[in-house]
A = this chain, B = another copy of it.
Amino acid sequence: MTRQTANSNRSVTLADVARLAGVSIATASKALNGRAQVRAETRERVVSAARQLSFTPNALARGLLLGRSGTVGLVTHDLEGRFSIPILAGAEDAFGAGQMSGLLTDARGDTIRERYQVNALLGRSVDGLIVVGDKTDERPSLGHDLPVPVVYAYAPSSDPSDCSLVCDNVGAGRMGVEHLLGCGRSRIAIITGDPTYGAAHERVQGALAALAQAGLELIGGRAMYGSWTEDWGRGAARLLVDRFPAVDAILCGSDQVARGVLDALRERGLSVPGDIAVVGHDNWKVMALGARPTLTTIDMNLEELGRLAATRLVEAIDGHPRSGRELVTGRLITRNSTAPQD
């Protein structure tokens, strides 16, 4: 049984603290806020009174006065999805240390909803906004006529003067190929997802650059685009090994695709990584760890992206805005699909 520590602090006010400490409200305020002009002994008396009453300052009153609410709006477009959540968690984390809280809102990819929610958030005097997209493609800017700074995460703003944090997809593609080269592979193919996603093309682009640099060409001559599904991964892998039996590595556009690829290879009697090494993308744990063999993949460091977004937003709120896109680099997670490592 823990001792009661939380009272109905709704009602404990600065006036109560001041009364108990025998000072004016003004002095109590200064004492608690660490203002210089307070005698040490007085400050102590106030602080101990505040503790005794378990006083929590009313953030609403504070915000009203200072014109800063200590809250930021988190506008996500994919609250159910896999990508926005780690970003939100990272942002939460970065704010958690300080005094900021996040007002959550899900716009579900709808521009009208977004506008409406942004206005609602502004009505709550948020000090800034983080807009989290559901894919890495550009999205329209909220504009510059807002009274607070905005940071775009995952999906960058199309306006280069906005501050955006994005995944380094090109670097991820390069990273995947370089790992495969390092593992001694040279006949590399790419099976990726939906060609309407910029991310798919960017990863391919990075991979091709790394191949070119090594003086190699892609097996099959071009990347295989399809959809972000296991089904497609399976089908594409079968096609690939039938047409190009010499292939010794497959770089995949996502872990789901890679999972399908692994299943198809196993069913064809090919060993991974013995015959063919496979690299995924996302480090989606359940997929990557449930796969046979476990999947080497690229983690986009989405939490880090979220933390950075929060940091940039706080900087902007404090009067030091940045603009332009900042790339967050992924990291390769090696598992058994490229090199056995029990």
Contact for A61 among B64, B79, B103, B287, CB less than 8 A:
B64
Interface residues in A, total, Cβ within 8 A: 59
Binds B, one of A2-10, A36-44, A156-164: A2-10
In the complex, are the beta carbons of A74 and B104 less than 8 A apart? yes
A79 vs B260: C-alpha distance in the bound complex, in angstroms? 28
Chain A binding surface SS class: mixed
A89 within 8 A of B: yes
In the complex, are the beta carbons of A71 and B143 less than 8 A apart? no
In the complex, are the beta carbons of B147 and A8 less than 8 A apart? yes
Chain B residue at minimal CB-CB distance from A61: B64
A80 within 8 A of B: yes
A85 within 8 A of B: yes
In the complex, are the beta carbons of B256 and A122 less than 8 A apart? no
Contact for A4 among B60, B124, B145, B148, CB less than 8 A:
B145
A119 vs B121: C-alpha distance in the bound complex, in angstroms? 22
Binds B, one of A25-33, A51-59, A178-186: A51-59
Q: Given A8-B145, A147-B10, A104 and B92 touching (CB < 8 A)? A: yes
Contacts of A6 in B (CB 8 A): 115, 118-119, 122, 143, 145-146
Contacts of A148 in B (CB 8 A): 10
A121 vs B63: C-alpha distance in the bound complex, in angstroms? 14
A311 within 8 A of B: no
Contact for A89 among B70, B79, B96, CB less than 8 A:
B79
A305 within 8 A of B: no
Chain B residue at minimal CB-CB distance from A255: B286
Chain B residue at minimal CB-CB distance from A234: B292
A159 vs B52: C-alpha distance in the bound complex, in angstroms? 28
Give the Cβ gap from A342 to chain B, nearest Cβ, in Å.
14
Give the Cβ gap from A183 to chain B, nearest Cβ, in Å.
25
Which residues, 225 to 249 on A, are CB-close (under 8 Å) to B? Answer: 229-231
In the complex, are the beta carbons of A88 and B64 less than 8 A apart? no
Give the Cβ gap from A201 to chain B, nearest Cβ, in Å.
23
Starting from the known contacts A102-B103, A103-B104, 17 additional A-B residue pairs (CB-CB under 8 Å) come to A4-B145, A5-B115, A6-B118, A6-B119, A6-B143, A7-B145, A9-B147, A10-B148, A58-B123, A58-B125, A74-B104, A79-B88, A85-B85, A92-B105, A96-B105, A101-B120, A104-B104
A residues with a Cβ closer than 8 A to B are 4-11, 56-61, 63-64, 67, 69-71, 74, 79-80, 85-86, 88-89, 92-93, 96, 101-106, 115, 118-125, 143, 145-148, 229-231, 256, 259-260, 286-287, 290
Name the 3 nearest CB pairs between A and B, nearest first: A10-B147, A56-B123, A230-B290
